[in-house]
């Protein structure tokens, strides 16, 4: 954790300084990977497309705090972490059967499910869908692409009306600049949760091949 915090506290490099290339900024990571900006789907565009409605920060933060207080990973954040996180998250309500996340798209945001349920599917080459998981309140979706600037691995669609919290790449960069300790703790815990989920998904895919 100390080494990660040290990285987050590194000064922003000067333009043209090749020895100190800025590879830590999430807002520029997709471009650094060669992703055309026109291919990137930010939350604002997806929210407009699916008709998401704004949820009050007071309710969203209360739900997030209650869920993460019971999560064995996220509960390791400082006791005042969620109130500090509130300013960096957007909160929204989405209807069922909307494409929150599409497989193999580039998206620079992650979602925390606050209420309802979301299907996590892997679209097969012939068009069918393999259900990888059914997300429950407290689950995090889309963090892999936010962290590594890669394509979305799966498709995520609400099965019911859902309330969600959204963290964008821009907001994560702002958190790194204004509250590095909070950002370091959040990123480390996201990586641990992601690793666990990938192990579960790998086992699920292996079972499907047998």
pLDDT tens column, 86-125:
889 999 999 999 999 999 999 999 999 999 999 999 988 8
Tell me how far apart the alpha carbons of residues 151 and 128 are, in angstroms, rounded to a whole number: 19
pLDDT at res. 198:
73
Look at the chain and report how many structural domains it folds into: 1
Query: In angstroms, how far is the first alpha carbon of the chain from the final one?
Result: 39
Q: Judge contact between 157 and 99, C-beta under 8 A.
A: yes
Which CATH number fits the domain that encloses residue 156?
2.60.120.10
The confidence band for 208, taking pLDDT boundaries of 50, 70 and 90, is low
* Containing structural domain, residue 159: 26-189
Mean pLDDT across the stretch 43-69? Answer: 94
3 against 51, higher pLDDT: 51
Report if residue 208 sits inside a domain: no
Report if residue 75 sits inside a domain: yes
Report if residue 162 sits inside a domain: yes
pLDDT at res. 5:
41
The confidence band for 21, taking pLDDT boundaries of 50, 70 and 90, is very low
pTM of the predicted model, to two decimals? 0.82
194 against 178, higher pLDDT: 178
Report if residue 199 sits inside a domain: no
73 against 142, higher pLDDT: 142
φ/ψ (deg, to 5) at 188? -65, -45
Both tokens of 51, joined, read: 């008709």
Report in angstroms the alpha-carbon separations of 64 from 82, 88, 92.
7, 13, 12
Report if residue 98 sits inside a domain: yes
pLDDT at res. 128:
84
Q: Residues of the chain with pLDDT > 70: what percent?
A: 85
pLDDT at res. 78:
79
- pLDDT exceeds 80 at position 187: yes
Report if residue 48 sits inside a domain: yes
Report if residue 204 sits inside a domain: no
Report if residue 144 sits inside a domain: yes
Mean pLDDT across the stretch 20-48? Answer: 83
Give the H or E element holding residue 190: helix 180-209
């Amino acid at each position: 954790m100390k080494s990660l915090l040290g990285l987050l506290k590194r000064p922003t490099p000067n333009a043209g300084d090749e020895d100190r290339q800025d590879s830590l900024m999430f807002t520029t990571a997709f471009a650094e990977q060669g992703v055309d900006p026109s291919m990137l789907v930010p939350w604002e565009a997806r929210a407009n497309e699916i008709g998401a409605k704004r949820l009050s920060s007071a309710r969203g933060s209360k739900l997030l705090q209650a869920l993460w207080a019971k999560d064995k990973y996220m509960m390791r954040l400082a006791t005042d972490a969620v109130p500090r996180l509130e300013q960096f998250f957007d909160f929204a309500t989405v209807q069922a059967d909307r494409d929150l996340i599409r497989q193999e798209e580039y998206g620079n945001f992650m979602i925390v499910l606050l209420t309802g349920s979301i299907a996590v599917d892997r679209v097969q080459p012939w068009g069918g869908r393999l259900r990888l998981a059914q997300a429950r309140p407290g689950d995090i979706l889309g963090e892999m692409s936010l962290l590594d600037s890669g394509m979305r691995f799966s498709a995520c669609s609400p099965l019911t009306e859902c309330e969600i919290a959204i963290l964008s790449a821009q907001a994560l960069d702002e958190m790194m600049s204004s509250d590095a300790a909070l950002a370091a703790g959040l990123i480390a815990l996201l990586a641990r949760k992601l690793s666990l989920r990938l192990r579960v998904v790998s086992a699920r895919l292996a079972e499907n091949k047998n």
